[in-house]
Structure formats: C-alpha cells, structure tokens
C-alpha cells in the first residue's frame, strides 16, 4: 500500500518526470533485501525511531494538499518516508518468519498481502473514495501497526508515543478529507483520477472556478459576466492557439480539439463555426457542461466525442478541419501515441491542405516541442514555437504551443512571430513512431539559479 500510494503521489502531484516510479520501487526492494537478508543494522527500537521521523515527514508533506514544494525538497521527504515505513514492515515480517516447514506458506501469505494492497490502492480506493486518500490512510495503518507491536511492552513512554503518532496520522487523514472538500462544488473519481471543482471565496467579478485533476490545475473560469467569456489559463489571447483562432480566419471554421478540460477554447467560437472536442473521460465532459459555461455560451456549434481521440479521428468521415488543437500533453502523463509519425498521418488526413495543427506542449520536464518539430519536418510542414507569459489578473498561465502548417501566411502572422522563440525544440532526436519513443532524450536540463 505504501509503495503504490507514494508512487502515485510523487508521479501525479510532485513531478511528471519519466521513470520516476523506478526510485520508490528500488527503495521498496532494497528494504526487502536488507530485512530478509540480515543486512539491516539496529534493533526494533532503532527502526521505530526512524519510522517516527519518516511518518512525521510524510505527514508534513501531505498535510496541505495545496502546498507546492520544490522537487528537491518533496522527493527526498517521500522517499525517506517510504524507506522508513518499508523497513519497519519488512523487519516485523522477518521477525515472525516460521521454521523451514512453513516457509512456503509464509512467503505465499506475503505475496497475497502484496496483492491485497495493490487491489486496495488500485481498485477499491477509487470506488470507495471520491478524493485521493490512500496515502494518509496507509500512514494511519502503519502507525497503528507500530502501536500494536509496542503495546505489550513495559515502557509507557513508547506506548504513548505510538498512540499519539497514530492519532497524528488520523489528523492528517482528516485534514486531507477537509482540504479536498473545502470550497469544492463537486468531487469525483474514476480510473482516470480524482476531479474537483473549487470556487474561490472572494465574491464579485474576480471570483473563479478551477478544475483540478488531483492537485494539478486543468482549467479555470471567471464566474460572472462579462469576464467569464474570457479565455484563461493556457488559452489566453496571446497563446499560440489564441492567436490562430483570433487572427488567422475571416470566415466560419471547423476546429477539432483533443482534450476538453473546461472547454476554454470554445470561447473563440463565432456564428457559423463548429468546435468538435475529443475527450476520453466522461466525468470531464459532465463537469465542463454543467459547472463551466464555455461550451453552452459559445457562439459556435459545439460537439463532444467521447473516447480515445486518435481512434475517433482515425474512423471519422466528417468534413475536414481548418484547425486541430492537441491539448493532451500538459498534465501528469504524456499520451505518446498522439505524438508519433502514424498519429501525424491521421491528423493530416483530417485537416484541409492549408489547415493548422496546434500542439500544446507546456511541460516543466520534457522538451515536447522537439518531438513536434521533427514530426512536422518529416511530414513536410513548417513549425513555429510560440510562448505566452503569465498574467494573474487575466487568469492566464505561461503556455508553450507549436503551430504546424503548410500555410506560410499563418507562419508569418505578426502576432505569432512576435511571441515565437528560437530555442524551442532545438534538440536532435530520433523521430517517434508507434514502435519507438524515448522520453529520456527530451528531458529538460534544470535551470541554474
């Protein structure tokens, strides 16, 4: 439970770094080897002290779900807590190891316990909880286990310590439940993760609603007119997609968008336009249509297709698109099947000859612009990397888009050129296909401060 809960947390809410899941797995296996191989130093008292520190660090790290800490701080906290918890559990298992006649049954039970923990975290919790509460629940269980193994001793201070530690982890669990529900209009969970819509406390024209996937923001909107008609977050007027939809068309247009979010791009719709969204998560579609108004207040005709976007585009026979915006790469997981040569061929078939592909590639850790520019070059298209700056008053975020097209008039648009950057997508890597991709090649070099 602890391994899976911490792995989910650091890969979804701390950093979407490729192969980051290898670190907690390595620590889990290391503690197993140390505990059962006789290499662990110190007795139960020593490791109980380490566990107390580890649980305290983990409790601190998750007490406030909205707190943002640097990767250099949060990652060591969670990995140390994982090490302390796994060492305690594995050492206690080793102490209970029976004689050789019962070892087969013993290791079978260990395997069964691991399977039960995986089922609980991966299947049961998403059905039971609307928020992501597995990690604080696991901390309560480990603290309670430590209290149980020390309860029969004569040292009342130790017993009091672990009774208090169990209570403290229960407080952390309660704080997580409260934080997920505070100012929350809806809280839902599915295979794709936990979704919540939070409305800011300040009333008036600056009041906002924000969609979070776990702890990551996936869209926002002002609540009141006229500001709620404004496109926000990654889709502001100076973003790559904003400039394309504002300035590159003089008549009705057909626009496809992979990734619905809260439907912000629909704000650029005009009478006669058709905006067709492709969204794999039915809960996102429900939230965008009920708690946000971009879709229903758009002047364009709105269509939503539920399912995998690539498959939907591959089998469609509707009229070709003027613009296809791909907005599925900025979250906590990268759908690499949308960034391959074969996917590019599907996009080209769905576009008009002078149509525009707009890739949203904002990412703190991956240089996705490199992948897109190579796909464009391979297909005979031009590409321009466009960056927009953050504006708190307008509720817009820093965004990086790659505009891909054969239409030279679009590439020479003054606004696109004004926001274009020369350093985007400058790496040289092998082109991605359905049979090959390499996230390690496009890792960004950490900025030196």
> Per the domain annotation, does 135 fall within a domain?
yes
Q: What is the CATH number of the domain that holds 414?
A: 3.40.50.150
Is the pLDDT reported for residue 424 higher than 90? Answer: no
Within a domain: residue 195? Answer: no
- Determine the average pLDDT of the residues in 3-31: 85
Same domain, 215 and 157: no
Q: Let me know if residue 340 belongs to a domain.
A: yes
Which of 118, 148, 182 delimits the end of a domain? 182
For residues 178 and 86, membership in a common domain is answered with: yes
Mean pLDDT of 26-41: 86
Cα–Cα distance for residue pair 197/306, rounded to 1 Å: 21
54 domain residue, yes or no: yes
Q: What is the pLDDT of residue 286?
A: 95
Q: What is the pLDDT of residue 287?
A: 96
Q: Tens digits of per-residue pLDDT, 63-93?
A: 888 766 666 778 899 999 999 999 999 999 9
- Residues 293 and 421 grouped into a single domain: yes
Q: Is the pLDDT of residue 62 over 60?
A: yes
Which residue stretches of 327-413 are H helix? 341-350, 368-379, 408-411
Q: Is the pLDDT of residue 106 over 90?
A: yes
For residue 191, is it within any domain?
Answer: no
Max mean pLDDT range (207-216, 356-365, 399-408): 399-408
Q: Tell me, yes or no, whether 448 lies in a domain.
A: no
CA 98 to chain centre: 43
Let me know whether 414 and 267 are in one domain: yes
* Average pLDDT of span 295-316: 94
Host domain of residue 218: 208-442
Q: Is the pLDDT of residue 449 over 60?
A: no
Q: Which of 146, 167, 182 is the last residue of a domain?
A: 182
> Are 134 and 251 part of one and the same domain?
no
pLDDT at 448 over 60: no
| pLDDT value at residue 440 | 78
Please give the average per-residue pLDDT across 155-170, as a whole number. Answer: 93
Residues 220 and 348 grouped into a single domain: yes
Can you tell me the mean pLDDT for 436-442? 83
Same domain, 365 and 409: yes
Instruction: State mean pLDDT over 356-382.
Output: 91
pTM of full prediction above 0.85: no
Q: Does 364 have pLDDT greater than 80?
A: no
Identify whether 398 is part of a domain: yes
State how far the Cα of 375 lies from the Cα of 206, in Å rounded to an integer: 41
My answer on whether 282 and 165 are in the same domain is no
The alpha carbon dihedral of 448, 384, 365, 398 has a sign of positive
CA distance 139 to 4: 13
- In the Cβ-directed half-sphere of 251, how many Cα atoms lie within 13 Å? 1
Are both 102 and 213 inside the same structural domain? Answer: no
Q: 223 and 176, same structural domain? A: no
Strand order in the sheet with 208-213: 184-190, 193-199, 208-213, 216-222
The confidence band for 246, taking pLDDT boundaries of 50, 70 and 90, is: very high
What local confidence, expressed as pLDDT, does residue 126 receive? Answer: 87
Q: Which residues of 310-324 are buried (b: 16+ CB within 10 A; e: fewer)?
A: bebbeebeeeebbbb
The mean-pLDDT minimum among 13-22, 166-175, 333-342, 408-417 falls in: 13-22
For residue 200, being part of any structural domain is answered with no
Q: Say yes or no: 300 and 342 in one domain.
A: yes
Computed over every residue of the chain, the mean pLDDT equals 90
Question: What are 115-157's pLDDT values in tens digits?
Answer: 999 999 988 988 888 888 999 999 999 999 999 999 877 788 8
Q: Are residues 41 and 121 in the same domain?
A: yes
Work out how many domains the chain is built from and give that number: 2
């Amino acid at each position: 439970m602890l391994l899976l809960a911490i792995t989910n947390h650091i890969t979804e809410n701390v950093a979407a770094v490729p192969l980051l899941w290898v670190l907690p797995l390595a620590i889990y296996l290391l503690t197993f080897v140390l505990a059962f191989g006789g290499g662990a130093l110190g007795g139960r008292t020593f490791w109980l002290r380490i566990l107390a520190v580890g649980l305290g660090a983990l409790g601190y790290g998750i007490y406030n779900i909205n707190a943002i800490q640097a990767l250099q701080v949060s990652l060591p906290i969670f990995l140390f807590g994982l090490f302390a918890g796994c060492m305690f559990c594995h050492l206690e298992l080793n102490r209970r190891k029976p004689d050789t006649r019962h070892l087969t049954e013993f290791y079978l039970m260990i395997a069964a316990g691991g399977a039960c923990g995986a089922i609980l975290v991966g299947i049961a919790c998403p059905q039971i909880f609307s928020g992501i509460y597995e990690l604080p629940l696991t901390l309560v269980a480990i603290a309670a286990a430590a209290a149980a193994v020390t309860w029969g001793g004569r040292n009342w201070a130790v017993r009091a310590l672990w009774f208090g530690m169990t209570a403290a982890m229960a407080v952390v669990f309660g704080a997580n439940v409260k934080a997920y529900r505070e100012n929350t209009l809806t809280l839902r969970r599915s295979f794709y993760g936990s979704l919540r819509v939070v409305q800011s406390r300040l009333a008036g024209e600056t009041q906002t609603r924000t969609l979070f996937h776990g702890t990551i923001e996936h869209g926002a909107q002002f609540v009141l007119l006229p500001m709620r008609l404004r496109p926000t977050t990654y889709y502001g007027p100076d973003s790559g997609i904003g400039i394309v939809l504002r300035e590159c068309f003089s008549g009705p247009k057909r626009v496809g968008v992979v990734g619905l979010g809260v439907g912000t791009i629909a704000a650029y719709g005009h009478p006669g336009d058709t905006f067709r969204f492709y969204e794999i998560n039915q809960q996102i579609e429900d939230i965008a249509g009920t708690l946000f108004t971009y879709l229903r207040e758009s002047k364009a005709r709105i269509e939503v297709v539920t399912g995998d976007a690539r498959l939907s585009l591959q089998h469609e026979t509707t009229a070709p698109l003027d613009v296809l915006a791909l907005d599925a790469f900025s979250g906590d997981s990268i759908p690499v099947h949308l960034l391959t040569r074969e996917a590019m061929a599907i996009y080209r078939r769905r576009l008009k000859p002078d149509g525009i592909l707009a890739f949203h590639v904002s990412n703190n850790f991956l240089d996705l612009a490199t992948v897109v520019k190579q796909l464009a070059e391979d297909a005979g298209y031009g590409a321009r990397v466009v960056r927009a700056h953050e504006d708190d008053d307008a509720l817009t975020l820093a965004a990086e888009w790659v505009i891909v097209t054969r239409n030279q008039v679009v590439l020479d648009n003054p606004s696109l050129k004004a926001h274009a950057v020369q350093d985007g997508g400058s790496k040289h890597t092998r082109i991605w296909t359905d049979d090959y991709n390499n996230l390690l090649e496009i890792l960004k070099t950490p900025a030196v401060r």
